[in-house]
Amino acid sequence: MGFEADWEMYTSGEKELFQRVCRRLLKSTFIVKEKDDDSKKLYTFVAKNEEAISSYFSHMGFDIKVDRDNGVAMLVNSGDSSDSGKIQANRLRLRKADTVVLCCLWTAYLDRIRRGNLSKGIIISLLDLKQELEKYGFREDFDGKTLMTDILKLFTKYNLVDVSGKLGDPDCSIKIYPSIQFALDNIEFQSLAEETSRKILSSKAAADDDEEEMEESDYDE
């Protein structure tokens, strides 16, 4: 059964839901079931009509994927296209700072899942995020509020996180959605991991040099 036949079988309400789902996916890439009642309604429609929605998006070189374990529906590049022919409209080129924060959010999310927190949404504080940045030697790069605010606004737009309160306020919190698992390109993550390792090794070498100079200075006295 083709898309046209599926469309004719929908009620007017279902046609409206179909249109809203497509607009949401094109705008935000991800629909997260647990985010709010409206998102739950759209996610449920996608899960029940996955084949028809995939057929519709296939004409644009896209496909959809529904991860029922995590309650996430997402727009992806069609697996039937060659690498050179894939449409990249749902691919966002991140700055280095964006990638660093995304990696740290992803790490914080996985860490809490491994601790037994099976909640679909993980809530952390800004301090928790800064501690993750510090682990990888990047905390000093995010001392100002403006950069972090812009980055979190970007991730909120794509339904990766929600920020409650203003950055800097004691009650500010960041809710990380399970969609975070599907947002990071493996190549980008590997590149960041390699750069981080080099940075850590460089810092360690500098610290060792400082310690050696101090020992020599003490000896000279």
143-170: pLDDT as tens digits: 667 888 899 999 999 999 999 988 878 8
Distances (CA, A) of 128 to 101, 139, 215: 12, 11, 36
Residue 220 in any domain: the answer is no
- Residue 178: CATH number of its domain: 1.10.10
Per-residue pLDDT band at 133 (split at 50, 70, 90): confident
Angle between helices 126-135 and 96-114 (to 10 degrees): 110
pLDDT of 141 over the 50 cut? yes
Closest CA to 10 of 130, 96, 119, 1: 1
CA distance 112 to 128: 11
Residue 142 in any domain: the answer is yes
Which pair of structure tokens corresponds to residue 47? 């899960």
As a whole-number percent, the residues of the chain with pLDDT over 90 amount to 41
Per-residue pLDDT tens for 51-79?
Answer: 999 999 988 889 999 999 999 999 998 75
pTM of the full structure: 0.78
Q: Residues 79, 61: contact at Cβ < 8 Å?
A: no
Paired residues of 64 in beta bridges: 75
Same-domain status, 79 and 150: no
CA distance 28 to 48: 20
Q: Best-predicted range by mean pLDDT among 150-159, 166-175, 199-208?
A: 150-159
The residue among 100 and 173 whose pLDDT is bigger is 173
pLDDT of 95 over the 50 cut? yes
Domains in the chain: how many in total?
2
101-113 mean pLDDT: 89
Same-domain status, 106 and 197: yes
Same-domain status, 125 and 80: no
Residue 44 in any domain: the answer is yes
- For residue 4, the model assigns a pLDDT of 75
Same-domain status, 180 and 101: yes
Q: Residues 27, 154: contact at Cβ < 8 Å?
A: no
Same-domain status, 24 and 120: no
Sign of CA dihedral 118, 121, 127, 130: positive
Q: Residues 55, 80: contact at Cβ < 8 Å?
A: no
Residue 219 in any domain: the answer is no
79-100 mean pLDDT: 64
Domain limits at 101? Answer: 96-205
Same-domain status, 69 and 123: no
Paired residues of 173 in beta bridges: 125, 164
Residue 154 in any domain: the answer is yes
- In the block, which residue shows the tokens 């491994």? 114
Same-domain status, 161 and 193: yes
